[in-house]
Amino acid sequence: MDFDLGEDANRLRGELRALIDAHVPADFLGAFTDDPADLAVAQQFCRTLAERQLLCMSWPREFGGGDASVWEQTVVREEMWAHHEPRGAQYMGVNWVGPIIMRYGTEEQQRKHLPPIANGEVIWCQGFSEPEAGSDLASLRTSARRVDDGWRINGQKIWTSYATMAQWCFLLARTSKGEKKQQGLTIFLVSMDDPAITVRPIRTMMGPHHLNEVFFDDLEVTEADVLGTVDEGWKIVQDVVSFERVGIARYARCERLLQAAPDVLGDAWDQLPAELRGRWTRMLTHCRRARLMAYRVVAMQATGRVNPGDSAAYRIAVTRLDQESAEVLMEIAAALPRGGDQRTEYFRAEVEDHWRYSQASTVSSGSIEMQRILLSRTMFAGAAR
């Protein structure tokens, strides 16, 4: 199947790859390592992209974007993820925080938050999951209570990526009790430098910054910090997860690493077991499947429609691809000689990094079990109609 998006997209890919070659070190494995220099590289690269209006290409010009098509933004998304996301944590603000604020925010909120995102100057984190409300997000306990001059927030979030470096938090809290647990939830845009917020890193094999606990102890916010309508935050959450699940082009990194394997192994490729090479071929096919499913969701978002079932189906396919391709690549990398040249060692490091990240892919951004439930409900509702 031909996935060519046209000459403009091909030129854009060439431009992005040239910028990566010029501004990102050849051994870069992402911004979130033990070396602070890697984060500095990502922060500078974001500003480089922003100067060329490549960071938020599909945003309207009035918000600092380039009025480009969603397909050009998809090219950016694919090239960034394929090359270990040299934008660092900016993808969160670019892919869904900014678009959600455009859709639900006041003019004041848009003026305040969108230009810094478009300029690559701010990092956001997502205050959703809690110790007993991860996949079952609507069961969260963090509360926001009305006070004379606004709201007072108390509670705890967990598994919060980038909380140690973020300036702002997209926070979901309960503001009232409704007949259903999805009712009575509200989104707040919260500054992370408030002393009422405490962040505790959670060390994992994924490296620093990825996972944190965040505590809110009598955090006071104003009405101006409420996004959308009070008690109707669940509607916003549904849009957030649809944008978020397609916002990371995981298939692009899988495909690049799989395609690089025969060249890196050279003559040793033909010595691999036929069964392993067969699984390698199957993974390339699954990359194409995930890409097509992502493009379907992108096309729907371009028309202003979001189908949770399609987003869930894509998420299931791409997370399975993440883990299954990682296992195949680890077996292939095991055939590489130790102490090889720089390219060989970098490929091995890329594969190991991909494997570590893939271990969490079926639980991050909503577990694969919850995606299956969501997909089945959508299919059942469609059949009932």
Q: Which domains can be identified in the chain, with CATH numbers? A: 7-122 (1.10.540.10), 125-231 (2.40.110.10), 248-384 (1.20.140.10)
pLDDT score recorded for residue 287: 95
Mean pLDDT of 14-31: 95
- What whole-number percentage of the chain has pLDDT above 70? 88
- The residue that leads in pLDDT, 331 or 250, is 331
Least confident of 107-121, 167-181, 273-287, 371-385: 371-385
Helices (H), the chain: 7-23, 36-51, 70-82, 90-92, 98-104, 107-118, 233-247, 250-265, 274-302, 308-333, 342-358, 368-384
Mean pLDDT of 203-228: 88
CA distance 308 to 376: 11
> Does residue 380 register a pLDDT over 70?
no
> Does residue 330 register a pLDDT over 60?
yes
Least confident of 109-123, 181-195, 203-217: 203-217
> Does residue 374 register a pLDDT over 80?
no
> Does residue 240 register a pLDDT over 70?
yes
pLDDT score recorded for residue 365: 59
pLDDT score recorded for residue 383: 57
Least confident of 41-50, 200-209, 262-271: 200-209
pLDDT score recorded for residue 32: 85
Q: Is 310 exposed, middle or buried, given 0-12, 13-18 or 19+ CB atoms closer than 10 A?
A: buried
Average per-residue pLDDT in the chain? 89
pLDDT score recorded for residue 346: 95
